[in-house]
Amino acid sequence: MKKVNTIFFFLLLFLNINIVLAENSQKIHIYDLWINEAPPTATVLVAYVVLKNNSKRLMTLNSVSCPLFSSIEIHRSIIKNDIASMERHSMLEIPSKSTIKLSPGDFHLMLFNPKIPLNTHDTPIFTFSFLDGTQIPVTATIRKRKDMMH
Amino acid sequence: MLTKLSNSKFLIPAMAFLVVLATGAGFYISLKQSQNRQERSEVSQGLFWPNPKQIKDFSSEDHNGNIFGSKQINGKWSFIFFGYTNCPDICPITMSVMVDVYRNLTTEFDDIQTIFVTVDPERDTKEKLSSYVNFFDKNFIGLNGEPENKNSLVRQIGIAYFSNKEKDNYLVDHSASIFVIDPKMRLIAKLSPPHQLEKIIDQFKNIKRFVDEKG
């Protein structure tokens, strides 16, 4: 009887983990993550992505990591009076039932100190971490320069 | 005399003639001014005309270690962008458009060149500049900004930039415009963002036509 209880307990635990994972993947959908191909000597790269919040509450992205880079920061490009500058954002809020697109000339991920030069066949995996503890792995693609504006 | 004139039977027609003349003159002047405005507007909003700045003699070193100065600017249309290689977003976007512009215009004109001037000369070594400009196009020219040189392009064009070098991975605020120098070494235009291929091609062709006509 004790053995049956133990099996039942682990089954429930397994089911619960799956439900949590399914909920996490449903409440926030992260897609179209791509890195702009850069010169081999580049020490800072850029990535763009789309984050769609399907949940009924605000989701706050507070960090992004990838083992291929020493650090990743969220930035926004601003052009004011012909001067281009960037401002760093420690977090990025995605309101309920809305989509935020990080795109050239706007919000982007700055990828510092790549450990290897990246080519178009590489598919690095990034982890997006949210304030509520949700962590989502996403695979990036590398786009050639000519595809940057498309 | 005034009394005589005021009594004259010609006074009213003369006054009417003067009114018509003044109105006509005013209309003509206004029309000419409007035409001038329209002509300039059609050419480019960023056109420095009628007093474009003459670029003085200067000498610098390009990304290959070759001398690059007034002689290399003279007789060519130069598109110049001021940025830095650690800039991950605005600079690659602009450089990508400049590649398309260069490749498009060189099919039609043989006196076009594209120059990238770094505003971060401390980190942008010759090797980094070389790798950077070659990545975009083998014909692009990379120059050190040389802010200490009073005749450098940065100083002559009057480029503003700012950085906080106390921070690691510091960023540089810089001009987002593309500057155009004509074959007579005159700073002829500033093309403001957002940069788009078709827009720049149109602006350039209008500017070239305008400058060729005006001399």
Q: Give B24-68 as a DSSP string.
A: HHHHHHHHHHHHHHHHHHHH-TTB--SSPEEPPP-EEEBTTS-EE
Q: Please judge whether B175 and A82 are an interchain contact, meaning their C-beta atoms are less than 8 angstroms apart.
A: yes
The CA–CA distances, whole Å, from A27 to A31, A48, A79, B111 equal 13, 20, 33, 56
Q: Please judge whether A36 and B173 are an interchain contact, meaning their C-beta atoms are less than 8 angstroms apart.
A: no
Position with higher pLDDT, B28 vs A100: A100
Query: Per residue in B163-199, pLDDT tens?
Result: 888 777 899 999 999 999 999 999 999 999 999 999 9
Query: Per residue in A80-112, pLDDT tens?
Result: 999 999 999 999 999 999 999 999 999 999 999
Q: Please judge whether B85 and A40 are an interchain contact, meaning their C-beta atoms are less than 8 angstroms apart.
A: no
Q: Please judge whether A43 and B89 are an interchain contact, meaning their C-beta atoms are less than 8 angstroms apart.
A: no
Structural contact between residues B91 and B85, judged by C-beta atoms closer than 8 angstroms? yes
Q: Where are the domains of chain B?
A: 1-31, 53-214
State residue B28 phi and psi, 5-degree precision: -65, -45
pLDDT at A19: 47
The CA–CA distances, whole Å, from B49 to A121, B17, B44, B159, B214 equal 49, 38, 10, 19, 10
Position with higher pLDDT, B48 vs A149: B48
pLDDT at B211: 92
Position with higher pLDDT, B13 vs B161: B161
Measured at the CA of B173, the angle between CA B76 and CA B156, to 5 degrees, comes to 35
Query: Per residue in B31-57, pLDDT tens?
Result: 655 555 555 555 557 888 888 999 999
Q: Please judge whether B88 and A36 are an interchain contact, meaning their C-beta atoms are less than 8 angstroms apart.
A: yes
Tokens in use for B196?
């788009």
Among B89, B132, B134, most A C-beta atoms within 10 A, so best to mutate, is: B89
pLDDT at A6: 64
Query: Per residue in B75-125, pLDDT tens?
Result: 999 999 999 999 999 999 999 999 999 999 999 999 999 999 999 999 999
Which residues in chain A are contacts of B135 at CB distance < 8 A?
38-40, 145
Fold of A28-147: Immunoglobulin-like (2.60.40)
Nearest alpha carbon to residue A83 among B149, B193, B173: B173
Which residues in chain B are contacts of A144 at CB distance < 8 A?
none
Query: Per residue in A56-79, pLDDT tens?
Result: 999 999 999 999 999 999 999 999
B160 reaches A (C-beta below 8 A)? yes
- B23, containing H or E segment: helix B11-43
B88 reaches A (C-beta below 8 A)? yes
CATH of B53-214 among 3.30.450.40, 3.40.30.10, 3.90.1150.10, 3.40.50.2000: 3.40.30.10
Helix (H, G, I), strand (E, B) or coil at A8: helix
DSSP string, B67-123: EEEHHHHTTSEEEEEEE-TT--SHHHHHHHHHHHHHHHHTTT-SSEEEEEEES-TTT
Which residues in chain A are contacts of B128 at CB distance < 8 A?
41
Q: Give the pLDDT band of residue B24 (cuts 50, 70, 90).
A: low
pLDDT at B17 over 60: yes
Separation of alpha carbons A54 and A96, rounded Å: 7
Report residue A137 CA to chain centroid gap.
Answer: 7
Tell me which chain B residue has its CA closest to the CA of residue A88.
Answer: B171
Four-CA torsion B160, B166, B171, B174, nearest 10 degrees: 0
Position with higher pLDDT, A127 vs B18: A127
Q: Where are the domains of chain A?
A: 28-147
Tell me which chain B residue has its CA closest to the CA of residue A145.
Answer: B96
Q: Please judge whether A112 and B174 are an interchain contact, meaning their C-beta atoms are less than 8 angstroms apart.
A: no
Which residues in chain B are contacts of A149 at CB distance < 8 A?
93, 96-97
Mean pLDDT within B14-31: 68
Which residues in chain B are contacts of A111 at CB distance < 8 A?
88
Query: Per residue in A2-32, pLDDT tens?
Result: 666 666 555 555 545 554 554 555 789 999 9
